Chain A
Amino acid sequence: VTELRSRWREAVRGAAPAAGCPESERFWDAACGSLTAREVCELADHAAQCPACADAWALARELREGSGAAVPRMRGRSARWLWVPGLVAATLLVLLVARRETVEPGLQVTASLIRFVPGGTEERMPEPVSLVVGDRVGLAVEADAPAYVYVVSIDSAGHGALLFPLPGLESTNPLPAARRHLLPGRREGRPMAWPVETASGREELLVVAAYEPWAAMEQLAAAAGRDALALALPDDLGVHLRGIGDATPDPSVPAPPRIAGPTLPPAGAWVRRVEIRTAP
């Protein structure tokens, strides 16, 4: 690897930039840690195919290092608040999650809602998803690395419920990489689905994927009954479930536990909102 890097660096030294290359100052800024993670990613994508810019960046890094300046520190993430119409007061969870939505370029995830059609076929639902009472749905998800995946349903009043992970399901976190997982998956060998039980109008599914466990949701899931298909989130996160899933309290668990410790998802989590409209 050392030889490879050395040869590659030798090949790119002094290469001429092409039209469309970023200004060389951008690489100096990158070396100084003055760019956002997204901007650095854009530069990296360009430098991967442009020897001149890779060379400019390497030179910037060396000069920066030689100048005695400190190694760049982790920059704050440029959080972008999501506006969820009608849910302002009750969507602490949404806001906490959404702050993380914008920037993490790392984990590559695809997720789509699936409707199980009688007869055993699957129908991928375009967004915004329209469902009716009686539909049974699941989520197809795939990540490029082992990922801790969490699925949360939030109704139009901002009440939320954890749909995945839950005890008893055969699919457990972290979900293996590079494989399509259909959630909630099987329970005791039987394929499961989330039923649409009430027509609550507008809802959202939040899908969160991360390299690390989301401690708050793991705590909640651990307290759920083994037959539950959903777990109402506690009051301090905006509770109650309507629409998708079954929030019937499990008698063995009188009330959801209060979450101890941080409630935020892990840093750098991948977050996706799926808008759903439910009708009678």
Chain B
Amino acid sequence: MDLEWVRRTIESAVGRHCPRWLVAHREDLVQTAMARILDRARPGGGDAEMNATYLWKTAHSVVLDELRRKRWEAERPLGSERPAETQARGADPEREAAAREIGRHVTDCLKTLVQPRRRAVTLHLVGYAPAEAGALLAWSAKRVSNLVHRGLADLRECLGAKGVGP
């Protein structure tokens, strides 16, 4: 297993996943994640493919834990301060608040979609292309595209009604 490849991939994923206010901690996060991954996923012989699979699965778990931990640290209430460097280098409270508000509205509006559209739109938001989502849901890519198209139209309408627009 090429650990440098793992590291680069994790850096890339963390880069895309790291909240804006956590940018300053990105490198720390990658380091911590790599240390924990290596600790938990010791490739001690056996099937190389299985080891690689386990390592990536571990990477997912560890990076997720670290992101959540960092967020929890940053958001913990009274008596605990957000790390100074976070505030100095990445934070934009107004933008964070706006993003949270949009996230809440999107979640509320997703609930109003009919089930197939909600599922297709959720996978779309998660990042799946129609062909990938179709493979997971056992639907055709065309069907997923149609559902996403209609679902996003419903979503836009719902968000518009809540005063959220482009």
Q: Counting CB contacts under 8 A, is B43 at the interface?
A: no
Interface residues of A in 1-47 (CB under 8 A from B): 1, 3-5, 7-17, 24-25, 27-28, 30-33, 35, 37, 40-41, 44-45, 47
Q: How many A-B residue pairs have CB under 8 A?
A: 178
State in angstroms the CA–CA spacing of A249 and B22 once bound together.
76
Distance from B1 Cβ to chain A, minimum over Cβ atoms (Å): 10
Say whether A14 contacts B126, CB under 8 Å: no
The CA of A1 and the CA of B103, in the complex, are separated in Å by: 14
Write out, one digit per residue, whether chain A residues 138-175 have a CB within 8 A of any chain B CB (1) or not (0).
00000011000000000000000000000000000000
Interface SS of chain A? helix
Closest to B67 in A: A14
Interface size of B by CB at 8 A reads 62
Known A-B contacts A40-B136, A40-B137; the reply to A48 vs B71 at CB < 8 A is no
The CA-CA distance from A104 to B143 in the complex, in Å, is 12
Closest CB-CB distance, B113 to chain A, in whole Å?
A: 8
A66 at interface, CB cutoff 8 A: yes
**A13→B67 contact, CB < 8 A:** yes
Residues 99-129 of B at the A interface (beta carbon under 8 Å): 99-100, 102-104, 106-107, 110-111, 114-116, 118-119, 121-128
Stretch at the interface among A57-65, A114-122, A123-131, A187-195: A57-65
B33: shortest Cβ distance to chain A, in Å? 11
Q: Name the residue of chain A whose CB is nearest to the CB of B159.
A: A4
A101 proximal to B (CB < 8 A): no
